[in-house]
Amino acid sequence: MRRPLRLDPRPHRREARLDTLVKLAWPYDWPYTWPYAWLITWLITVPSLGCAGRRPSPPTGPPVTIVVRAPAELAPALQQSLATADVPVELRFAELPPLPPVRRPRLGFEDRLATARRLYIEADFPGCQQALRGESLETALLGDNRRTTAGRLLLWRLACHVGAGEPERAERVAQRFAVYDLEIPRDVEAVTPEVEAYLGAAVTAVGEAARATLHLDSDPSRAIVAIDGRPAACTTPCDLDLPPGDHVVRLHAAGARPMIQPIKLPQAGTRRSLTLPSAAPVEIARQWATRYADSPAIDSADSVRLLSRAVRAQRLVLVTAEGDPALRLRGVLSVDDRIAARSERDTSPSQAPKTAPALLEDLLTKGQVVAPPKPLVRRWGFWLGLGLSAAGAATITGIVLDRDPPRTEVRFR
Amino acid sequence: MIARIIPLALVLPLALATACEQDVRHVELVLGSVAIPDQVAPRGLDCVDQDGRLMACRIYDPDPPVLTMVVDMIPLGGLPRCRANSLQAWCAEATHDCRPDLDRRAIFELSLPPDRSLLEVFEAMKSELSGQVLPNPLVSEPVIVRATFLAQDVATVEAAGEEPSCEALVGCVYSCPVVLDGVEGELPLELDAFNIRCMAEVHQCASNPIFAIEPACSGASGTPDLDPLCR
């Protein structure tokens, strides 16, 4: 039995086998050259193109602040991967503002009302008036949307004036009560019917009077208006039909300090334009946390604008990760309080750290914070690599073509 | 950047050095089957003649005894199958010459041991041939490598030319058709015969052209009467 001939497994032996097959048709040694030429071409081209693909410029412009909202187990890995993103800008990280503590109702005013009630029952009407003194009290209460307390304040003031025999002052208080459209409090059971009569007359008179229009505007616009302690009456600019008389307007807008403003509305109506002072970043952070910390609209334009001011970032990137097991990475870029770009990726929790840098690069490129990568053919590295490759391939091909073909030695074992 | 260039700088000279060196393939001719490690004599050297005597004993016919090996490269003009009948059919075609290239013939005169023993002759022959290089092999086209053993000295063999002496013919082995440039390793040389009554196959192997339908030497093996000491 003859054993089959063993063919050499090394590449040039395969060349030899190929050579065996084609030798009769092509009696030259050309097949030896190409593997070497292509090997060298790749060895030169791939690193050169890699160099050409890098962003060459150093960090420029203001830093980009990144805020991440993600499940607790994923957030550190996301931040770490974003920090390694290959972008020519300085990256900073900021924490989301925490939710403010629940505000407890202020105490103390109940004591003044109890004191006034006791003095009224004891017929100490000057003392009663003294206990409730302070013109700004009702403005503060209505500005704080505490209409019930404001109603009790005005009721006891009215009672004290009636008891003291001051009908004109009693009428003015009763009229304000009616103009504010307050509900009559339970304390009315403790006052005389004369007091109730003042209230009834005032409510009737105000109800029968023609209404006047209050036109409100603000800077910034889109401020939320509360009128006489009734929240969210409208959003500026807006018109309100109200009874003529004294009113308390409260405006609050994102990024601004709330404003409480007493307004006297004449019969013919009036137009008022109010400027809200800017809020401090700490206050803005509190506003953002109250409105958006647990909201699905966290990446809305208003939220991002407010957040950028809260963290004092001229350029802000908010990255959110939601969903399990399929994870959706969403990113929004805000530049100078305006949304400059949005992007999102579908990924998984394990792949999110790899996806996040690409999301960031996409955002910064769309938002023109960084220049988009140049096309390959417009990079010097590409042409340098190509030239080197061609030269290398030509050189190696020349060398290989010039060398002697493999020699076969036949001998006895 | 530097990290990318360093591997390139290491690989490039290596590739260049690899490209510049000349490769050498080694084809080792093996007398006999490579599948039988302890084979004493290959089939083709153990055939008996018409009298039943081992043809190998002919080396003791001259005085002094002599053994010469002639290695021929026989171009085939293609790659037929290896069995004897396939080769015979191939060489029977007019377009296939199947004659040895005499310019590439190699002749080795082999020294014989002092004792009259074929076993020792074969051992000594293998030992003496080991490592011997063919000076001018035909490597680039399909050939058969044939080794013909004759009980003649080199001068007589050279003077005889292409046709071997029928009386001096000791044995003959050959390889399968092969392009030597396309293989590496062992290349067995043996005779395609079932048993030692293979004189006719030896004649066909040693004829020129190889596997001639009517070889110059004729005759068939008789009943074997083996005597390894050739008495």
Shortest distance between the Cα of A39 and any Cα of chain B, in A, equals: 9
Q: Is the peptide bond before B64 cis (omega within 30 degrees of 0)?
A: yes
Residues 55-74 of B with CB under 8 A from A: none
Predicted-complex ipTM score: 0.87
Shortest distance between the Cα of B163 and any Cα of chain A, in A, equals: 24
Burial of residue A315, with CB atoms counted within 10 A of its CB: 0-12 exposed, 13-18 middle, 19 or more buried: buried
In whole angstroms, what is the distance from residue B31 CA to residue B39 CA? 9
Note whether A5 contacts B179, CB cutoff 8 Å: no
Q: Which helix (H) or strand (E) holds A157?
A: helix A147-163
CB-based contact, A51 to chain B, within 8 Å: yes
Residues in A touching B180 (Cβ below 8 Å): 408, 410
Mean pLDDT of successive 10-residue stretches along chain A, which has 413 residues? 37 47 47 56 62 55 88 89 86 85 67 88 89 85 89 92 90 92 88 90 91 91 90 87 92 89 91 90 87 86 89 91 86 91 90 90 88 80 88 82 81 91
Shortest distance between the Cα of A218 and any Cα of chain B, in A, equals: 58
In whole angstroms, what is the distance from residue B31 CA to residue B209 CA? 22
Residue of B nearest to A405 (CA): B22
The CA–CA distances, whole Å, from A401 to A34, A376, A391, B14, B139 equal 10, 32, 15, 17, 20
HSE-up (13 A, CA, CB side) for residue A104: 3
Give me the percent of chain B exceeding a pLDDT of 70.
88
pLDDT given at position B22: 62
Q: Is residue A315 a contact partner of residue A369, using CB atoms and an 8 Å limit?
A: yes
CB-based contact, A393 to chain B, within 8 Å: no
Digit-coded pLDDT (tens) for B29-49: 998 876 666 667 888 999 999
CB-based contact, B20 to chain A, within 8 Å: yes
Q: Is residue A301 a contact partner of residue A339, using CB atoms and an 8 Å limit?
A: yes
Residues in A touching B84 (Cβ below 8 Å): none
Residues in B touching A392 (Cβ below 8 Å): 12
Q: Which helix (H) or strand (E) holds A99?
A: none
The per-residue b/e assignment along B148-180, b for 16 or more CB within 10 angstroms, e otherwise, is bbbbbbeeebeeeeeebbeebbbbbbbbbbbbb
Digit-coded pLDDT (tens) for B86-137: 999 999 999 998 999 999 999 999 999 888 888 889 889 989 999 999 999 9
Return mean pLDDT, chain B: 87
Shortest distance between the Cα of A61 and any Cα of chain B, in A, equals: 25
Residues in B touching A40 (Cβ below 8 Å): 12, 15
Burial of residue A272, with CB atoms counted within 10 A of its CB: 0-12 exposed, 13-18 middle, 19 or more buried: middle
What's this model's pTM, rounded to 2 decimal places?
0.48
Note whether B187 contacts A403, CB cutoff 8 Å: no
Q: Is the peptide bond before B228 cis (omega within 30 degrees of 0)?
A: no
CB-based contact, B38 to chain A, within 8 Å: no
Residues 271-290 of A with CB under 8 A from B: none
